[in-house]
Amino acid sequence: MAKMFPHIFPTERLDETTEKQIYDLLKGLPDDYWVFYHTRLPLTDDPEIDFLVIKENYGIVNLEVKGGRWRLENGGWYRNNESDFNPVDQAVSQKHSFARFIRSSVKNCPWLSIEPALCFPHALQSVFSKQEAILPTIYGKDSLPHLHAGLEAQMQQIVDDPANSRYNREPRCSRNLIRMIRSIIAPQSTKDLQVYLDSERDELDRITDQFHAGIAGLYQNKRVAIRGSAGTGKTWMLLKSAYKYARDGKKVLITCKNMLLAEWIKSELNTKYDIHVEPFEELMKRLLGDIVDNPDNLDSEARNEYYKQLPSTFADEILTGEHELYDAIYVDEAQTFTGDHWVCIEEMLVDKLESKLSYFYDPDQKHFTEKEFKYLPDVPTKFELTINLRNTANIHEQAIKYLTDPPSILDYAVEGRPVYYVQIDSAEKKAVEQVVQKLLHQLITEYKVSRKSISLLSCHRVENNSLSKFIDTDKKLAGQRLTNSLSDNTAITSTSARRYRGLENQIVILYDFREHDFTEINYNGATRACLLLIMLVDKEVIRSKADFLDGCVEIKLPELIPID
């Protein structure tokens, strides 16, 4: 499906039934087409352009739609049997006006290959094909079923035009150029960046039929597995289902391995329902009590061994002793759970046949030593979420670069700003610190972004990342405190991509890429950013993976982030 701007036909123009008919037809073009409806160019006397149809890596067709019964006779144009203006002159004039306007608006604008076309939905194409006059491409009532094929042919003619080689010009309209055109003729309101972020967040918050089907499946079935990539709505689906079940008076447990994710889920819940949220390792430690040592008193090696043995210790205890029981258990980020975890979870259900067990997982979100997901229980009901509801199209494309079976994204998804990157030299001791300081100053001071809209994510653990000396200490960066928590509203969350799994924020600054696993971290980290992603990438990483930054835009500090 084509990318349509606006995404929905304007309600104030619904009386333009002819244009609505063509809008709906153009919507069915392949997804490498961009269609702009009702484009008015400033500083020209031309009326608005009905449709600008652009195909990635091809060209542009400005399509004028004329309702009524038109005909061309003896050089004169007639509409409903009355003499009328020459629509060819209008289309050609708009072609030149649009080209001039874009060239004056885009720095170093490449050659724009634009061809006019006319569409007469109430007149036969044969009426015009018999004329001797030189006419642009015309679509009539009888050729509308072949409109897509006709536009494909026009795009191919633009690329194959012999004049391209004669004048050494590149006719192809790149995606970056289309984005620039979009920012000019279909701009977002950006008095400040926070306003822009909030408006685009609203546009992203749409729910698909797939999402509703999953909710219904969770409520109607006892054992359910939900598989979905980052941003497909797994956690929101979990919350919706848990609420629905808890309202029926059931006791519900929501658990995961990630403490920050559990913290966020807890903050989102309505406390009047009997829903308990606790990271599973914390739950095990709490229920075991004095049976095991306090891991905080152990050295690093002993602590790792403690957590390795904790599930089996808990499994032994839970099989023999009394413990808490739940009518429904929901497991988020289930790919991180092992066999012993699932034994324990089964034992915590009130009734192993009638109680609910639902888990949510993403096979692509693996960190460090995590293995394939051989421990996930086999359940009779399975759903797969395949549509990214969280990220802008540009962030989505960056995140899925190295996935073998990536999710799709909504046809009307916000295109968003490009993914930005800053090239750094990690050999310089304070390189990351200095760059993040400048970025935070720009975002908070220049663009008025709330500190809670920003997250700083490292590819290293919190204790040894490049900003660790600022995290939960008295030291400030760009006048801001950094915290490894979500609950401190006076500080910017700064943690590892691993600890932030399952969470999101409007802006993410991703840093500390490592050569050996940066493709994996790219997916896990990039998908945390809903609307704006900035990556700090070492020059060695860039050199080792040439396509990593394809489609990204470099920021060369101290230049401002090019938001406007």
**Percent over 70 (pLDDT), the chain:** 89
Instruction: Look up residue 290 and give its two tokens.
Output: 């004095």
Q: Are 309 and 288 in contact (CB under 8 A)?
A: no
Instruction: Look up residue 244 and give its two tokens.
Output: 């629905």
- Sorted by sequence, the CB contacts under 8 Å of residue 149 that are 6+ apart come out as none
Q: Are strands 491-496 and 505-511 parallel, antiparallel or unpaired?
A: unpaired
Question: Would you state the pLDDT for residue 511?
Answer: 92
| pLDDT tens digits along 181-224 | 887 787 543 334 565 555 555 544 545 667 777 888 888 899 99
Cis peptide before 6 (omega within 30 of 0): yes
- Collect the ranges in the chain with pLDDT lower than 70: 42-46, 107, 129-134, 171, 187-209, 270-271, 290-293, 321, 366-373, 410-413, 515-517, 562-564
| pLDDT tens digits along 87-138 | 888 888 888 888 888 887 776 777 888 999 999 999 888 777 655 556 788 8
Compute the distance between CA of residue 449 and CA of residue 454 in angstroms, rounded to an integer. 8
Q: Are 301 and 324 in contact (CB under 8 A)?
A: no
Question: Would you state the pLDDT for residue 188?
Answer: 47
Question: Would you state the pLDDT for residue 483?
Answer: 95
What domains lie within the chain, and their CATH numbers?
A: 3-187 (3.40.1350), 207-388 (3.40.50.300), 395-401+409-554 (3.40.50.300)
Compute the distance between CA of residue 172 and CA of residue 174 in angstroms, rounded to an integer. 6
Cβ-in-10-Å burial (0-12, 13-18, 19+) of 218 comes to: buried
Question: Would you state the pLDDT for residue 517?
Answer: 65
Q: pTM for this one?
A: 0.63
Instruction: Look up residue 425 and give its two tokens.
Output: 């030299």
Question: Would you state the pLDDT for residue 310?
Answer: 84
Helix then strand then coil, in percent of the chain rounded to 5, is 35, 20, 40
Question: Would you state the pLDDT for residue 340?
Answer: 84
Question: Would you state the pLDDT for residue 191?
Answer: 39
Question: Would you state the pLDDT for residue 446?
Answer: 85
Compute the distance between CA of residue 539 and CA of residue 116 in angstroms, rounded to an integer. 45
Q: Are 492 and 545 in contact (CB under 8 A)?
A: no
> DSSP of 170-227, one letter per residue?
-----HHHHHHHHHHHSPPP-SSHHHHHHHHHHHH----HHHHHHHHHHHH-SEEEEE
Question: Would you state the pLDDT for residue 300?
Answer: 73
H-helix segments, 225-348: 234-246, 259-268, 280-288, 300-320, 339-347
| Nearest Cα residue to 327 out of 350, 311, 357, 304 | 350
Compute the distance between CA of residue 64 and CA of residue 38 in angstroms, rounded to an integer. 10
Compute the distance between CA of residue 530 and CA of residue 196 in angstroms, rounded to an integer. 12
| Nearest Cα residue to 440 out of 453, 431, 426, 428 | 453
Compute the distance between CA of residue 400 and CA of residue 406 in angstroms, rounded to an integer. 6
Question: Would you state the pLDDT for residue 495?
Answer: 94
Question: Would you state the pLDDT for residue 292?
Answer: 64
Question: What is the identity of the amino acid at 248?
Answer: D
